[in-house]
Amino acid sequence: MIRRNFLKTGLCGVTSLLAMQTEHSLYASENESVKSPKFHLKFAPHFGMFENIAGKDPIDQLKFAADQGFTAWEDNSMKARPVKMQERIANVMQQRGMQMGVVSALRGVWNSVNFASDVKAEREKILSAIRDIVDVAKRVNTKYLTVVPGLADPKLPKSYQTANCIDLLKRCCDILEPHGLVMVLEPLNRKTDHPGVFLYGSPQAYMICKSVDHPSCQILFDIYHQQITEGNLIPNIDRCWDQIAYFQCGDNPGRNEPGTGEINYANLFQHIHKKGYQGIIGIEHGNSQPGANGERSVISAYRKIDPR
């Protein structure tokens, strides 16, 4: 009886071990052995986008993305990650030849009335956050910092709000310029996701950046948000071109991968490619399908629209 139970347990253990080895070999095959050609444009996924295939470990997700041909990455939550993890991420990206895209400069403080306001305490919170992000940016080798200029101030006429915003942005530039860092101002849509934001249109962002007139203050043109706000994407991109430093994308409606909504991303990416855009395009959207198949669909969607 004892021997029979031992043999049964032993066989179960061997079966479990073989299953673990098979799972690991599949993982290794998908993440390490199979490498795809690099994308022509610098599409930048984010943590969580490929976790069903690559696993929960952020480092494994980076390695998987590199093997799929992605040459950039972005992470709005980088400021909240432990320093040791920031360093690990930077090291792996350097080893894999990947470029870090935007990190959020104002995590935890952006969603209030601040840039548009003349309340000193709120403006000081912004300046403090900008000072704090400098070391993070250096640690992860990024140049670009996402800045959303808060909510509109219902107590002030729009022109006063705009003047307040321009003044505070200039003060932020004074902090960032010595370190070679660039704020990219992101207009958000008011109609679907962010009612009440101060900055919502690309013409508005262009006017503010021209008024600040500083290399540390440029535009993050999020194609998803601007399709909802104003449409007319290619003409607006052309008009803002000298102030655009960064793009993000997501289809509309749904805010998922290209091909799931109404935006003609093949034409749009071909247009900016022909204009000579060499920067990063953040993949700031969800996956339209769940699980590993959904993650493969995202990769396939970008293969289809990557300019040749």
Q: Is 284 one of the catalytic residues?
A: yes
Exposure letters 246-273 (e unless 16+ CB within 10 A, then b): bbbbbbbeebbbbbbbebebeebbbbbe
The domain segmentation of the chain, as residue ranges, is 1-34, 37-305
Marked catalytic residue, from 74, 257, 284, 295: 284
**Tokens found for residue 180:** 């070679």
Question: 285, 251 in Cβ contact below 8 A?
Answer: yes
- Return the bridge partners of 184, or none: 146, 218
Q: Is 230 one of the catalytic residues?
A: no
Question: 96, 63 in Cβ contact below 8 A?
Answer: yes
Contacts of residue 235, defined as CB under 8 A and 6 or more positions apart, other chains included, come to: none
- pLDDT of 35 reads 87
Chain CA centroid to CA 46, Å: 6
188: exposed, middle or buried (Cβ count in 10 Å: 0-12, 13-18, 19+): buried
pTM of the model: 0.89
Chain CA centroid to CA 205, Å: 19
Helical ranges in the chain per DSSP H: 2-28, 51-54, 58-67, 83-95, 120-140, 158-176, 202-212, 223-229, 233-240, 265-274, 291-305
Marked catalytic residue, from 122, 186, 257, 295: 186
Protein fold of 37-305: TIM Barrel (3.20.20)
- pLDDT of 255 reads 98
- Return the bridge partners of 49, or none: none
- Look up residue 32 and give its DSSP letter: I
Instruction: Going residue by residue through the chain, which has 308 residues, state the pLDDT in tens, using 9 for 90 and above.
Output: 333 333 333 434 433 333 333 333 344 434 444 689 999 999 999 999 999 999 999 999 999 999 999 999 999 999 999 999 999 999 999 999 999 999 999 998 999 999 999 999 999 999 999 999 999 999 999 999 999 999 999 999 999 999 999 999 999 999 999 999 999 999 999 999 999 999 999 999 999 999 999 999 999 999 999 999 999 999 999 999 999 999 999 999 999 999 999 999 999 999 999 999 999 999 999 999 999 999 999 999 999 999 98
